[in-house]
Amino acid sequence: MAFDTLTYARRLKQAGFSEEQAEALAEATRGMVVHDIVTKDYLETALERLSPRLTVRMGTIAGLAVGLLAAIIKL
């Protein structure tokens, strides 16, 4: 996602901000917008790291469910 700081600063100046204020606010806003962007590569890496843990957790849940059902059926 692109953030046009020049256009943003111009709009702030039109709204009554000084040039220094508009530029400072535009840069601060760009930093927040760009910082929160998640890329496809980041998501793929995160999923690759989580996959083994999720598999173990799902296996544990399935094993506990089978054990619980077996215990219930024996009663």
Please choose, from the candidates 14, 37, 38, the residue with its C-alpha nearest in 3D space to the C-alpha of residue 26.
14
Angle (CA) 52-54-59 rounded to 5° is 95
pTM, whole model, 2 decimals?
0.44
Query: What are the residue ranges spanned by the domains of the chain?
Result: 1-37, 39-75
CB 65 within 8 A of CB 29: no
Alpha-carbon distances, residue 34 vs 53, 71, 74, 75 (angstroms): 30, 54, 58, 59
9-59 pLDDT, tens digit per residue, is: 999 999 999 999 999 998 888 877 766 666 788 788 888 999 999 999 999
